[in-house]
Structure 1
Amino acid sequence: MPTHEWTMAGDEYGSPPRPRRKTRPIVALGVLGFLGLVTALFLIGVPGGSTPSLGPKNYRTSVDCQVNTVGSRGTVTISGTITGDAARYSVTVEVLDSASQQRIGVQTFEVRGTTTFGGTTEAQAPIGSAGIECKITKVA
């Protein structure tokens, strides 16, 4: 009969088991989490920061145009207001001939630190007797 037992527990022979390396996956998850947070803050905009918001902006606008013609050429004076929750806007105004709905002018305004915008643009086609219409085509 045998006088000893064969076990692997506690023997000093063979290689010790390798510890599992958890450091790399934890660091990788931390870096991905940080990048996700930075991306989310960039997309929603940081309050008080200079990072532009890429999401939808709440705003209210109005625009008015006056035309001055000399012969078949003219200039259009645009004036408008914008109020909302952003510190800056890019407002594109399109000027149309009322009768033909043909675009006769377009201008983009960068609005920062104020609620008003305006300027003068040259009419690119003869203006009909029905006058002009102005409309805001894009706000960013």
Structure 2
Amino acid sequence: MADDDHGSRPRPRRKTFLIFSLGVPGLLGLLAALYSIGALGGNTSSPGPKSYSTQVECRVNTSGSQGTVTISGTIRGDAKSYTVTVEVMDAASHQRVGLQTFEVRGTNTFEGTTAAQAPIGSAGIECKITKVA
């Protein structure tokens, strides 16, 4: 029997088990990654408010080529705190002349003054909320 070339063959179940035990976790990992990036309908947005309303006003005070911008606004929504970023632009050239971020906690109003970093044209300024977190 030592020269028998027809000895017992390897069991195919071992290979099937090995493929199954490596393939299923790999497939589950791929599906989890696709879900987390939103490819399978996952939601990648951070937890927090789904809705809010904002209003912002800006006033400019210039003296020669220097100026300051007073920003005031309100935010209403579901969260207890917000981070609001306001961009101030020259109305004619749409060049950014100021940017300020406010931490709004325990209230729904924010206000502050920032330096105007470029001369303000005769058309005045525009301000808009660029980010709410």
State the TM-score, normalizing by the size of structure 1: 0.61
Measure, in 2, the Cα distance between the counterparts of 1:95 and 1:120. Answer: 11
Structure 2 residue 120 is matched with structure 1 residue 123? no
Question: Which whole-Å CA distance do the structure 2 matches of 1:57 and 1:68 have between them?
Answer: 36
Structure 1 position 55, deviation (Å): 4.2
Q: Cα RMSD between the aligned structures? A: 1.1
Query: Which residue matches 1:100?
Result: 93
Taking the aligned partners of 1:118 and 1:80, their CA distance within structure 2 comes to 6
How many matched pairs? 88
Corresponding position: 1:76 with 2:42: no
How far did residue 56 of structure 1 move? 4.8
- Letter of the structure 2 residue corresponding to residue 88 of structure 1: S
- Output aligned runs, 1:1-140, within 5 Å: 54-140=47-133
Identity level (%)? 77
The residue aligned with 1:25 is none
Equivalent AA in structure 2 for residue 85 of structure 1: D
What is the deviation of 1:57?
2.9
TM-score (norm 2): 0.64
**Higher Cα radius of gyration:** 1
**1:75 Cα offset (Å):** 0.0
- Gapped runs of 5+ residues in structure 2? 1-45
Consecutive unaligned residues of structure 1, counting only runs of 5 or more, are 1-52
